[in-house]
Every structure is written in C-alpha cells, then in structure tokens.
Structure 1
Amino acid sequence: MAPGTRLAGKVAIVTGGASGFGRGIATKFVQEGANVIIADLSAEAGQALAKELQCNFTLADVTKRDCWEHLLKVAIDNFKQLDIVVNNAGITYPNKATADVTDKDFDLVMNVNVKSIYLSTNILLPYFLENKKPACFITVASTAGVRPRPRLTWYNASKAAAINATKTMAVEYGPQQIRFNSVSPVIGTTGMTHLFLGKPDTEENRKQFLSVVPLGRGSTPSDVANACCYLASEEAAFITGVNIEVDGGRCV
C-alpha cells in the first residue's frame, strides 16, 4: 500500500518498537507520516530499524521512571510536541503450571506489562493536561486478558489489568480529549511465541492454539499496526475506551 498521511504532523512514542508487533506499528506510523520515537531495550535492533525508517531511536527500559522522563524530553527537544503513545512493550514467562510460577516471573510480567503503563501515564499525562493538548494512548494488550488459557495465569492477569486500566482512564480523561484504547492480538509469530507455547515455535506446535481462531491464522505485525493506526488517526476521534480484538474471531 502506498504511503499515506493519516498521521501527518503527529509525534508518536512506540515502546518495544524494535521488533515484533512494535516494529510493525513503528513502520506503519512512519508510512502514514508520523514522527516516530522507537523506545526499546535492544540498541542494535532499534538503531537498525530507526536508520531504515529514518526515525528516532531511544534506548529505554519502560519499567523505569527516568526512562519515561527522558522519552518526553526527546519528543519535546526534537519535535516540540507529543501526540501518540503506544504502550506495546510486553513480556511473558514460559508456559507453566501456575503453582510453578516464581516471584521473578510474577514481577517480570507485572512490571513490564502493567507498571510501564502506569509510568507512561503518570509522567506524560501532566504534559498533555498542562498544555490542554488532545492525545492518544494505545495499549497493546492480548486476547489472554479477555479469553485466558491455563498455565499463563499471571501473564493473563497483567493483560487484563492493562485493558481495565485503559478503559478506566478513557472515562477519566475523556473530558480533556485524551483518548485511551487497546488492541488485543491473538498469538502470532514473534520472539515470544515459543514462551506462550511452552515449546519450540513450529507450525505443528502452533496448531493447537490456532485451531480456535475462526480465520485460521495468528496475528501479524501488520494486523496490529493497522488497528493501532486507525486508533491513532483522526478517523477514530470519537473512539475511546475500546479494546479491539485483533484475533481472527478467537474471542467471539
């Protein structure tokens, strides 16, 4: 599809933007005219993608307050504004019995999948509120937060929390024209797929997961990016508090 202008003049932060769904989102946003700041823990992958897309890369651990303060500074220093925040960075622990989950596993999913959203809003909302500036926050959640499967209990719970927090803030900050929405992909092929499966990411091992998807395949980075682009665009100016299930019918 030819480049468009749906996000022209907008400045967006995309966390976890160096690979997987985040890479797809960053690519789509640049194609649609946005100035994108890729935030990621992987300097090598992030710098390579930023060079390819001719956008900005910032090394960031989204579980740290100072990293979010730095991301806001990068946006203001480079572009004089910020409009869109995509909380895409996420993590899981290997598929396992709930009784076998460790403190480290629990802290990991809650810090990356929930605390990062808390920090993003805690630090960035004052900027939007003080400047009386409309804004758009998008959370990349998961079907696990809507139709959970066994053996990933606390990952599922972290994504349910992310969806609920997103809806709550949509109600709270709607009067200030700050929109909050989420997208929930079904399993796809990313660097974490083998963790969800609890076994190597092969076509055979994915069959059990994909057998419950009516459209018969997993989510792709393009699927997720297209949904995020819609939510970030003026086409969705009256859309807030929704969770779009990008799942081929899995949650029906």
Structure 2
Amino acid sequence: MDMATPPQNDPWSVVNMINQSPPVDCSKPYDTSTLAGKTILITGGASGFGAAFARHWARHGAHIILGDVSDAAGEALIAELRASSQHPGQLLTYQHCDVTSWTDQLALFKTAVSLSPTRALDAVVAGAGIVEKGDPVSPSGGIFDQPHDLDSDTTPPPPPPLKVLAVNLTGVMYTTHLALYFLPLNSNSNSNSNNAPPRDRDRHLLLISSVAGLCPLPGQTEYTASKHAVMGLFRALRGTAWITKGVRVNVLNPYFVATPLMNKPGLALLAGGAKAELEDVVDAGTRLMADEGVRGRALVVGPKMRVVDDDEDGGEGIEIVEGQGRVRAGERRQAVWEVYGHDYERVEVFMWRYLAVLNLMRQVRGGVG
C-alpha cells in the first residue's frame, strides 16, 4: 500500500480520520479571489511579515484588523492602506495590543468582530514575534549566557529573561485560544461585502513559526525553543481543529529574511549568504490563506532554488541546486516547500496503531481482572 495515498475506506488512516488535505504542490497557481470580503485579524501586524500580509491581502479586498505594540507604525500602515484602497466599505483598522496580555488580545478580537462587515472573523494570523538581542554566535546561547562568580555563594544567579518566550509562545497560545473560540462563531454561509454569491465561510488559523522551529539556531536558545513549541502546537491542532471546530490550521516556517525582526549582529552574520525574500513569504502565506482546501499543512520558505527535470536514462525526479541568473529551458525557480508533508501517512499512523494496540491490551487486562 502506498502510505502517501491511504485508501479512503481505511479505518486506520489518520489522514482520513482528521480529514487532512493532500500535500501542497507549491509549483501550481492558486486563486486569490477568495480573499475578497474576508475579515482577517493579524497580531504583530505593524511591521515585518504581518505588515506585508496586510498590504497584499488588502489589495485583494480583504478586511484587515491589525494588533501590535508599535502604535506609530500600525497607524501609519492603516493610513497607507486606506489611502490606496479601491474597495468601498473595506475595513482597515489598527488597535494597540500587547500579545502577552490576555486583556489586550481579548479586546482586539472583540473589536474585530464588532467592526467586521459580517460581524465575524474568517481568519487569524498569529504573527507577533521577537528575537533575542544577544550575540547570535554566543557559545552559551542567549538566555543562559549570564555572568557568574564561582567563588561567591551568597549572590544567586538572576532568573533568565523570558520575554521572547512570553511573546512567541504565550502570546501565540492566547491568539490560538481566542481564534478557536471566535472563528467557529461565523455562520455557515454568507454574502460578502463585495456582493459575491453565498458560499461556505472559511475558518483559518495561520501560525508563524520559523526555520528555527525545524532545526536549532545556536545563540537564539529561547527563540528556537519558542518556534519549536509553535510547531508542536501546529502538529497537535491540525489533528483536531478541523474535525471538532471546522477550523483549518496551517503554519509558515520562513528562513532568514531581512525584516525588522532581524537584529544587526544577525544580519552581519548572514552577510553575503542566501536569504529568503519577503515576497516569497507573502506568496506562501497567501497560498495558505486563499486556498481554502489546504488543511494541516506546513510550508518552509527559503532562498530560491533552481529545479531541473532529471530524465536521464529514462528516470524521473528533480535536481535541486541553488539557482541564480537566467532561467533556462526545462527549469523553474522555487522558494516554498512543504515540510511534515507525509508524517501522518508514514510516521504518526504507526504511533496511532501502536497506541491503539496498547490501549486494547489495557482494556482486555482490565476486563479479565
């Protein structure tokens, strides 16, 4: 049996049980018309990825609500979007929100619902995030790089600064909790503000992790831990959120991108090296936001690669090399790739079956006892 395509009648298939969508083909085009009329809330939306998403999605007619602590930047961005808007009645607003404050986040969600033309939310982006400000090549690794005196036993070490964890994990957990409460409250069908015909409402939570959520980033210990935790959150939710609440959950894992999130030591360390482009992150996020059939999928965004068809000796496959310069015949450039594309089919299905056997044994033993 091909584990990548489990039979639809397989009662043991986790994919069928959670109704996960097929792997994403990032080389195929997608339809952006579904963005029109959607009400999208973005935390951390005043700069970086959040601001880039807001600009792009607003051009396609989405209603945008931004939350951030950078009030001047947030208000300036909304003024820019309003000045360039070509969609009558489009909602574009900003509200101060510290994502580590439950009160602030709850107020942001309530404002978004109350101002939305549909009185509902269609999508939430957990985009707020910060990095450690220390030396990225510190051998001690960020929060644990504290001065100490081995000859003194009277002065205890100070507690580690955990602000990054508070923003990148606690803040994301708050956003996720509120999204899973408010998104299912929208009605099953709706005529959006652009006079489109009624259709089933989308409910989408987009998490923002990082390449640091897939591999370690030395010197950014707290940041790496927080982004690994976001991936754990994604992997847990994608197995339950759709079947219990009708909310599709996806995640982005961008490589290093020159945004305000990158500090000067980090940019210096990467000088001359390949980096991901902001436009490719926006493209990947837009694919997940616009394609309402994508559920439980993770995309990594890195430097563009040159993909060449390999048909030597009648074989099939691709050769992937870093691509620069002119695009030649028979090749394409790709910056977005799927990760965790088959783990439910090939790995977690084993754990599912293994645990089912263990539970069955426990029940039998209990009954015999």
Q: TM-score range by the shorter chain?
A: 0.7 to 0.9
Which amino acid letter does the alignment assign opposite residue 177 of structure 1? G
| Larger fraction in helix | 1
Is 1:160 matched up with 2:208?
Answer: no
In the other structure, the counterpart of 2:286 is 229
Q: Superposition RMSD on alpha carbons, in Å?
A: 2.3
Looking at structure 1, the residues matched to 182 and 105 of structure 2 have their Cα atoms a distance apart, in angstroms, of 12
**Percent identity of paired positions between Structure 1 and Structure 2:** 28
CA offsets 1:93-150 (integer angstroms, 9 cap, x no match)? 1223223067453x21211111112111222322233556641111111001102232
In the other structure, the counterpart of 2:210 is 142
Contact 1:92/1:195, CA 8 A, preserved across alignment: no
- One of 91, 94, 100 as aligned partner of 1:57: 94
State which drifts further: 241-250 or 185-194. 241-250
In the other structure, the counterpart of 2:347 is none
Task: Count the aligned residue pairs.
Answer: 234
**Which sections of structure 1, spanning at least 5 residues, go unmatched?**
211-216
TM-score (norm 1): 0.84
CA offsets 1:140-170 (integer angstroms, 9 cap, x no match)? 1100110223221221111011011012111
CA offsets 1:172-201 (integer angstroms, 9 cap, x no match)? 11113201111011111122322662xxx3
Which amino acid letter does the alignment assign opposite residue 206 of structure 1? L
Cα deviation, residue 207, structure 1: 3.3
- One of 50, 72, 93 as aligned partner of 2:109: 72
Contact 2:43/2:99, CA 8 A, preserved across alignment: yes
In the other structure, the counterpart of 2:125 is 86
Which amino acid letter does the alignment assign opposite residue 149 of structure 1? L
Is 1:207 matched up with 2:271?
Answer: yes
Which amino acid letter does the alignment assign opposite residue 129 of structure 2? G
SS in 1 for 2:258: coil
SS in 2 for 1:190: coil
Contact 1:21/1:220, CA 8 A, preserved across alignment: no
TM-score (norm 2): 0.59
Contact 2:184/2:203, CA 8 A, preserved across alignment: no
- One of 151, 156, 164 as aligned partner of 2:219: 151
Mapping for residues 178-189 of structure 1, pairs under 5 Å: 178-189=247-258
Is 1:108 matched up with 2:163?
Answer: yes
In the other structure, the counterpart of 2:195 is none
Looking at structure 2, the residues matched to 78 and 132 of structure 1 have their Cα atoms a distance apart, in angstroms, of 16
Cα separation, partners in 2 of 1:103 and 1:85, compared to 1, 3 Å: farther
In the other structure, the counterpart of 1:173 is 241
Is 1:19 matched up with 2:47?
Answer: yes
- One of 276, 281, 287 as aligned partner of 1:219: 276
SS in 1 for 2:56: helix
